[in-house]
């Protein structure tokens, strides 16, 4: 045991030095400012295509599930930045930043979104609203399911790009929260089609030079059941509508060809195209907001340090907080190693990934997309997590032992992180 602790201490010390050299020191701050200016255009392009996809997917889900704009995470991730006061600067505050709702910061944004979505709501099955919806034409979601649809599912689709890993999470929620599978699969397929339209089957109005791959004129989509179907959409909104024979679900899609054959249908398709225009406008708003913060990144990652702390990492509380997190990571890795002893290194890394995923979902401060996981009681979370990773080929018995061990460590970690935040409030006058 003493040898293991000594090894962990040496590793943490090395990582503290690297962290200070690359992030928090005076030299690192200057170098990072120079680098961020040098690569800001490339980073901006990345922001563009990621944010537009998020806006597109969020708006489609708003239409499908009758979700209000204020419930969508990407519309609540705007920020206000300002310089600190001289007193705050002396305490180590390089930049003052606070999260605000984009809908409050840009009132015209909410108006545009609401108007576009309201065009389509009467034709779609959605969430019930008291005094507004009709029995049999809507459904009611528990809060956890609601959180999954509006936030967590989008994060899963963005972070886990492999279809099988996405389906493992999706199916585990459907199974353990007793969700109706059809609309959930439609939501997954719609989001996946939007991703394909941007990257591998681009449109003139929805593609990025030097990023999207120009494909042949035929289009192919993959269903939730892994069936590849050739389709012939005329507009990217046809893709979002999921209106393809043999794979669409009644009441959860619109039929583009049928709509084009009637006056009412053509009017409705015009509304969909207007919604697509809103995607471009809203995406521009959010992307511009996000890109405006690119140049502040070096200051933010080195924030909350006095000048003497930036010059001497040994007395930097920011570096100590980083080291604290690393100690817990090594503790969790060692706990997993003891449970899966005898497994080959490749399998150990998979079990370790499962454990660290659990840690990030319930122990990571801030961020978005974790609401559904954090809203579950511990038994439901345990069933969902074991089910998800069992679908990926891991042993349920070992997963159960890992969960029972890691959940206690994560709770201890979260309590200590909260204590550190309170200490930072007292020492620096800032809460982070």
The terminus-to-terminus CA distance of the chain in angstroms comes to: 34
CA separation (Å) from 209 to 45, 203, 238? Answer: 10, 11, 22
Higher pLDDT residue, 231 or 173? 173
Better pLDDT: 289 or 234 = 289
DSSP 201: S
Overall average pLDDT of the 156-177 stretch = 84
The pLDDT of residue 432 is: 42
Residue 412: CB atoms within 10 A of its CB come to 13
Identify the H or E element spanning 214: none
220-271 pLDDT, tens digit each: 667 777 777 666 665 555 555 544 444 454 454 544 555 555 665 566 666 6
- DSSP H or E stretch at residue 79: strand 78-82
- Rounded to an integer, the average pLDDT of 376-403 is 94
Which of 54-58, 60-64, 65-69, 352-356 comes out lowest in average pLDDT?
Answer: 60-64
Give the tens place of pLDDT for each residue, 104-119: 888 888 777 776 666 6
The three state secondary structure string of 257-311 is: HHHHCCHHHHHHHHHHHHHHHHHHHHHHHHHHHHHCCHHHHHHHHCCCCCHHHHH
The confidence score (pLDDT) of residue 382 equals: 95
Mean pLDDT rounded to a whole number for the chain: 78
pLDDT digits (tens, 9 = 90+) for 301-354: 888 888 899 999 989 888 988 888 888 888 899 999 999 988 898 899 999 999
The pTM assigned to this predicted structure is: 0.81
Output the pLDDT for position 412: 83
d(CA 7, CA 25) in angstroms, rounded, equals 25
Token reading at 291: 């890109």
Q: If you count DSSP H runs as helices and E runs as strands, how many of each does the chain have, helices first?
A: 19, 6
3-class secondary-structure state, position 100: strand
If 0-12 CB within 10 Å is exposed, 13-18 middle and 19+ buried, where does residue 30 land? exposed
What tokens appear for 198 in the block? 């941007």
DSSP letter string over 218-254?
A: -EEEE-TTS-EEEE--SSHHHHHHT--TTT--TTS--
> Has residue 1 got a pLDDT over 80?
no
Residue with more model confidence, 270 or 165? 165
* DSSP state, residue 23: I
154 vs 2: which has the higher pLDDT: 154
In 3D space, the residue among 387, 398, 402 whose CA is nearest the CA of residue 343 turns out to be: 398
φ and ψ at 98, to 5 degrees? -140, 140
Give me the residue label for tokens 């809908």: 103
Q: Which residue is listed with tokens 């032992």?
A: 401
Whether 31 shows a pLDDT value over 90: the answer reads yes
- Sorting pLDDT into bands at 50, 70 and 90, what band is 388? very high
pLDDT of residue 120: 57
Phi and psi torsions of 96, nearest 5°: -100, 125
Q: What local confidence, expressed as pLDDT, does residue 430 receive?
A: 46
Instruction: Identify whether the C-beta of residue 59 lies closer than 8 Å to the C-beta of residue 275.
Output: yes
Residue spans of alpha helices (H) in 92-220: 102-105, 107-118, 143-147, 153-159, 163-176, 181-199
**Which H helix or E strand runs over 344?**
none
Look up tokens 């606070």; give the residue: 98
81 to 97, 108, 421: CA distances (angstroms)? 4, 21, 20
pLDDT per position as a tens digit, 207-217? 665 666 665 55
- 119-132: per-residue pLDDT in tens? 655 454 556 666 66
What was the pLDDT predicted at 408?
86
The yes-or-no verdict on residue 99 having pLDDT over 50 is yes
**Given pLDDT bands bounded at 50, 70 and 90, which one contains residue 57?**
confident
Pairing of strands 126-127, 138-139: parallel
DSSP 148: I
Dist CA 346 CA 141 (whole Å): 40
Q: What percent of the chain has pLDDT over 70?
A: 72
Question: Any idea which of 58-72, 75-89, 361-375 has the lowest mean pLDDT?
Answer: 58-72
The span from the CA of 282 to the CA of 273, in Å, is 14
Cα–Cα distance measured from residue 91 to residue 242, given in angstroms and rounded to the nearest whole number:
54
How far apart CA 97 and CA 87 sit, in angstroms, is 16
Tokens of 180: 């109706």
From the list 99, 54, 59, the residue with the least C-alpha distance to 78 is 99
What are the tens digits of pLDDT across the range 402-411?
A: 999 988 888 8
Strand, helix or coil for residue 81: strand
What pLDDT is recorded for position 431?
Answer: 43
């Amino acid at each position: 045991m003493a040898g293991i602790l000594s090894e962990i201490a040496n590793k943490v010390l090395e990582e503290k030095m690297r962290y200070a050299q690359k992030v928090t020191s005076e030299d690192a701050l200057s170098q990072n400012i120079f680098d961020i200016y040098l690569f800001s255009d490339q980073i901006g392009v990345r922001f563009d295509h990621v944010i537009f996809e998020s806006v597109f997917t969020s708006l489609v889900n708003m239409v499908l599930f009758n979700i209000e704009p204020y419930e969508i995470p990407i519309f609540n991730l705007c920020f206000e930045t300002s310089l600190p006061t001289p007193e705050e600067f002396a305490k180590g505050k390089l930049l003052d930043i606070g999260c605000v709702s984009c809908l409050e910061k840009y009132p015209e944004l909410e108006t545009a979104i609401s108007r576009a979505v309201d065009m389509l709501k009467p034709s779609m099955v959605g969430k019930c609203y008291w005094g507004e919806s009709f029995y049999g034409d809507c459904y009611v979601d528990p809060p956890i399911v609601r959180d999954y649809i509006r936030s967590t599912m989008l994060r899963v689709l963005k972070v886990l790009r492999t279809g099988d890993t996405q389906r493992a999470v999706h199916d585990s929620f459907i199974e353990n929260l007793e969700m109706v599978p059809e609309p959930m699969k439609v939501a997954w397929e719609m989001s996946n089609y939007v991703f394909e339209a941007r990257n591998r089957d681009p449109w003139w109005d929805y593609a990025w030079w030097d990023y999207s791959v120009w494909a042949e004129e035929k289009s192919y989509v993959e269903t939730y059941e892994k069936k590849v179907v050739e389709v012939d959409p005329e507009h990217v909104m046809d893709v979002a509508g999921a209106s393809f024979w043999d794979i669409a679900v009644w009441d959860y899609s619109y039929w583009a060809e049928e709509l084009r054959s009637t006056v009412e249908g053509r009017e409705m398709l015009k509304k969909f195209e207007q919604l697509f225009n809103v995607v471009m406008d809203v995406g521009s708003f959010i992307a511009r907001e996000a890109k405006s913060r690119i140049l502040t990144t070096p200051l933010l990652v080195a924030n909350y340090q006095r000048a003497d702390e930036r010059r001497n990492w040994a007395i930097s509380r920011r570096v100590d907080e980083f080291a604290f997190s690393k100690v817990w990571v090594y503790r969790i890795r060692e706990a997993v190693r003891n449970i899966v002893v005898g497994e080959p290194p490749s399998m150990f890394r998979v079990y370790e990934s499962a454990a660290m995923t659990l840690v990030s979902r319930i122990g990571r401060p801030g961020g978005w997309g974790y609401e559904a996981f954090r809203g579950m009681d511990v038994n439901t979370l345990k069933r969902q997590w074991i089910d998800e990773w069992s679908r990926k080929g891991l042993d349920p018995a070992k997963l159960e032992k890992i969960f029972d061990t890691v959940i206690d460590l994560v709770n201890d970690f979260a309590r200590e992180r909260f204590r550190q935040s309170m200490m930072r409030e007292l020492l620096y006058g800032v809460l982070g």
